[in-house]
Amino acid sequence: MNNELNKMIILRFIISSLLIVLLSACCEQGSGKVPDLKSKKDLSTSLVAKPYNSGFELAHDTYNGISAASDGKIYYVLCSQSADVGGQIYSFDPKSETIRHLGDLTELCGEKGLKAIVQGKSHVKFVESNGKLYFATHIGYYSTVDGMEKPGIPPAGYKPYPGGHLLSYDLTTHKFENLAIAPHQEGILTMSMDTKRGVIYGITWPTGYFFRYDLIKKELKDLGPVAGEGERGKGSAFRVICRSIAINPEDGTAYMTTPEGTILRCRAGEDIIGRVEGEDMKKDYFGIYDPSSSGSMGYNWRQVIWSQAEKKFYGVHGNSGYLFSFDPALPRIEVLERITSKVSQRSGMFDQFSYGYLGFTLGPDGHTLYYLTGGPIYQDGKRVTGKSSTSMGEAKGLENLHLITYDISAAKYQDHGPVFYPDGQRPLYVNSIAIGLDGTVYTLGRITENGKTRADFIKIKYIIQY
């Protein structure tokens, strides 16, 4: 009797183990299906993304464009590729789970009825200072000329794009203010802010003009191009523009990079853009790149944030997925760990997103880094690539979305696994992140419902374990 009982127990154990393996493989490999999410047990052990409908059917992929504010709400922009319908800005209240439409970017810039190419995007994070959120607008309507994306050629009866704007939003009065317009009628691709000194820094697209706006003086100053001919250049003159300006709050210095790996510096109050001597981003671990190639960010850092506790920056090199720290006081870059997904690390291949991922930030605890990255999909032992894109800055094929955390104080990496919608679909084209006050992860990605695909707001609820 005891032998029979033992056999039954062993058999049940084997069956349970096989089921766990099969469910794990189902999530990680090609079917995209997830465990039954109807039970609370499954919900507590799976990374489930809850999609919302903001009501904007034209919404297209958003890069950055989302941040958590001190009022507990999440603010985000849904972008548009239309010539005449601009991007839209919203807020999400986690307590009531309600979405509020705050405005149309074109109208907020005072360009309603102008019959010009609209303000289709916001490509930057919101920066909070003295009760206001600061952000910038960008062009979303493009034309392909000689195989490259260019500012959209205006349709008949329309004027060219007038240039990106710097805007602010008052968290108390809920009023927007149009602060300034970018130089040379270009969009604003990159923006950051020295909140202590009230100075905003930005880089335009497609040429890459670096500018500074002083909130007190209400003065914008163009400091010239910082990446050769930028993404307007052709052939050997082409240079990918840095997507993240790092601000040292201690002294107000702004840092950015070039595809060659040079770290540029603009000190507070100065009009000179110099280079950091004795250190750069050209590391063997990051790979080998042609600075004039449009297929990668080169040696540019992809996303960089400041750690007040460590008094240094933490960032990700896009193509390789390596986490690094940058101590501006020394100056020194230290390569820490590859924070791609575990399946990416095992595959030995670069991820499908050609520029790397912008969904990288520091959590409210001040020591946990959050990163949304890709992961290869396998079906019957073979890698599934799906439909490939040849456009720069887009995914080259199908991938899973993974949530990674890295505890700075413990130097601990953790891959929390792939993320799925309740119906088994994958969030795609994710390049943004915001962390709520309770540690909930928010992002923006593609959602397909009723046969239609749009970009929209997503909540990822999980329990962090260290």
pLDDT more than 70, % of the chain:
87
The predicted pLDDT at position 381 comes to 83
Note the pLDDT of residue 422: 94
CA separation, residue 121 to residues 62, 106, 208, 271 (Å):
7, 10, 17, 28
Beta bridge partners of 74: 68, 92
In this prediction, residue 387 has a pLDDT band, given cuts at 50, 70 and 90, of low
pLDDT band at 386 (very low <50, low <70, confident <90, very high): low
Q: What is the 3-state secondary structure (H, E, C) of 215-246?
A: CCCCEEEEEEECCCCHHHCCHHHCCCCCCCCE
pLDDT of residue 462: 61
pLDDT digits (tens, 9 = 90+) for 39-53: 333 334 459 999 999
Whole-number average pLDDT of the chain: 89
- The domain ranges of the chain are 37-63+338-466
CA distance 89 to 55: 11
Contact 323, 336 (CB under 8 A): yes
Q: What is the mean pLDDT of residues 73-93?
A: 98
- d(CA 96, CA 377) in angstroms, rounded, equals 36
> How much of the chain exceeds pLDDT 90, in percent?
80
Residue 370 contacts residue 391 (beta carbons within 8 Å):
no
State the pLDDT at residue 15.
39
Residue whose C-alpha is closest to residue 30's, from 314, 372, 384 = 384
Average pLDDT over residues 29-43: 39
Q: Is the pLDDT of residue 270 over 60?
A: yes
pLDDT on residue 147 = 80
pLDDT of residue 443: 98
Least confident of 24-28, 134-138, 283-287, 382-386: 24-28
Q: What is the pLDDT of residue 397?
A: 75
Query: What secondary structure, in 3-state letters, does 43-74 show?
Result: HHHCCEEEECCCCCCCCECCCCCEEECCCCCE
Contacts of 55 (CB under 8 A, 6+ apart): 99, 101
> Does residue 7 surpass a pLDDT of 60?
no
pTM of the model: 0.90
**pLDDT value of residue 46:** 57
Evaluate if residue 12 carries a pLDDT over 50: no
Q: Is the pLDDT at 199 greater than 50, yes or no?
A: yes
pLDDT beyond 60 at 38: no
pLDDT of 352 over the 50 cut: yes
90-106 pLDDT, tens digit per residue, is 999 999 999 999 999 99
**Does position 300 have pLDDT exceeding 60, yes or no?**
yes
Rounded alpha-carbon distances, angstroms, from residue 166 to 20, 210, 380: 51, 14, 50
With CA atoms as reference, report the closest residue to 415 among 401, 398, 427.
Answer: 401
Tell whether the model's pLDDT for residue 233 goes beyond 80: yes
User: Would you call 10 helix, strand, or coil by DSSP?
Assistant: helix
Least confidently predicted of 36-50, 214-228, 277-291, 442-456: 36-50
Per-residue pLDDT, averaged over 364-387, amounts to 89
Q: 320 is written with which tokens?
A: 């390789």
Give me the mean pLDDT over the 445-464 stretch: 89
**pLDDT of 6 over the 70 cut:** no
Question: Which amino acid type is present at position 80?
Answer: S
